[in-house]
Structure 1
């Protein structure tokens, strides 16, 4: 198993975690305002991560801090525009437009990192974007103010993937991830006090949801992303992340008995097919096929 395949599998695990976290986030948001929820989730994740990886924090250099702050601001801006956009558009359109980052990442990679995506990855992207459309879009395809805000969010999430891929090879990936998480938590806290009436969460249910989200869907997920992007491309990362609504739908069915319509099932299949197409080494497959056709011991 190659390092890239191991990295892609780790990122797939992150995608599954984020897909399953939808139900927990929905439960927590029933008790807390949006930025209040993000502040508690990310600050808690930053504290837990800093305690576990305190050696990485102590030995952190200036570059790690600088890159972490930069990427953290980009990540928070993505969440902020997505949240604002949701006030003016549907959740299905928001999911599709956010997933459009899978198209933006190869373009950014070519322009900013001079990395030309492989043909198989581009084919996988095409499958994924059609699948996202079927999975998330309804019959209303008009562009609204919320759609525009969400499109900015898609560019920011794409930029987050690109910057992580660029800088994680230069510094301590774990420390850089923790800084990002802390920045999102701190800026969310500021926004919460500015536009909400923040409250301190109480009750076992909300704290159970917050702890699971903080440990697995925030601390673990972003640390894995930062560490694993050393061994895979930004395009692969974005493509794998398109599976989030697929796994979200799966867990919604298991836990909430929500059923996808037929077009959603087709869309999910296309997204998963896109991932498979991008992962298979087609040159090796075709070269083996050619070798078998050239040498056939049964041929007289």
Structure 2
């Protein structure tokens, strides 16, 4: 299968996997704290990846480790905790819509920091996306006063981290295969994650009951499928396409995530749907070819 077809296969598969990640995180948070969810997600993923790809570490050269460390922290470590805290406070469907700003941030930071060019219509798309984001958050604050929409900023920060991750991979790690990049990332992150978990007193505070066991179950699925396997696929997608196309997986993620959210009892108003479409239209302008 050629790269042009293969990238669409990866894009659709990732949208289903990552679109389901929001509800898995929400379920895991029933029995675990946000800090524990973030740390355990990284630890479980790291163990899984080292089991299947430990030998790939031998392919990584000294010059790669700086960029692997940088993109590992901004694109995986910090977002794992930021998302866990955000989904603990706001609906998972709203979080997925806000996450769709990643392609816009990929364009902005790709131009500012990595020398990638952009067109006038793409800048218009960025501005439209920002308007949709503001409307979505303001309406959410109005309709859900019991939810703390300050934590929506955590999703926005994560989307910046994801955009930096995409640009770093494309510019500096293009000569490494996807599995080597992913295994390298998580081999660096496992120790900081273990330290964070230790400070949560997990070994002392964890109680074995139905909720906690379900939380671990959902988190394991999230870590292995939604982080480990999906990261390998995403890194490969970046290599066979371009940064903006790769990050446009967030076009489709909200469709899957909102479907799961509605199934789980979350509700979105017409205004919030409209705000989501404004964001996606902005993303469309950024990605549209001539």
TM-score (ref. length: structure 2)? 0.75
SS in structure 2 opposite 1:115? coil
Distance in 1 separating the partners of 2:126 and 2:13: 19
Distance in 1 separating the partners of 2:100 and 2:236: 22
Aligned pair 1:264/2:264, yes or no? no
Distance 1:121 1:2, change over 3 A: farther
Aligned-residue offset at 1:130: 4.5
Distance in 2 separating the partners of 1:162 and 1:119: 20
TM-score (ref. length: structure 1)? 0.73
Distance 1:263 1:45, change over 3 A: same
Alignment partner, residue 172 of structure 1: 177
Distance in 1 separating the partners of 2:88 and 2:224: 28
Greater percentage in helix: 2
1:164 and 1:229 in contact (8 A); partners too? yes
SS in structure 1 opposite 2:139? coil
* Count of aligned pairs: 280
Aligned-residue offset at 1:108: 1.6
Unaligned 5+ segments in structure 2 are 143-148
Aligned pair 1:237/2:246, yes or no? yes
Unaligned 5+ segments in structure 1 are 283-300
SS in structure 1 opposite 2:239? coil
- In the TM superposition, 1:1-300 aligns within 5 A as 3=3, 6-7=6-7, 9-75=9-75, 76-80=77-81, 99-118=100-119, 121-122=122-123, 125=126, 128-138=129-139, 140=141, 152-198=157-203, 199=206, 205-241=214-250, 243-253=252-262, 255-273=263-281, 281-282=289-290
Aligned-residue offset at 1:222: 1.0
Query: 1:201-239 deviations in whole A, cap 9, x for unaligned?
Result: 776533431232122100111111111111333233334
RMSD of the alignment, in Å? 3.8
The higher radius of gyration belongs to 1
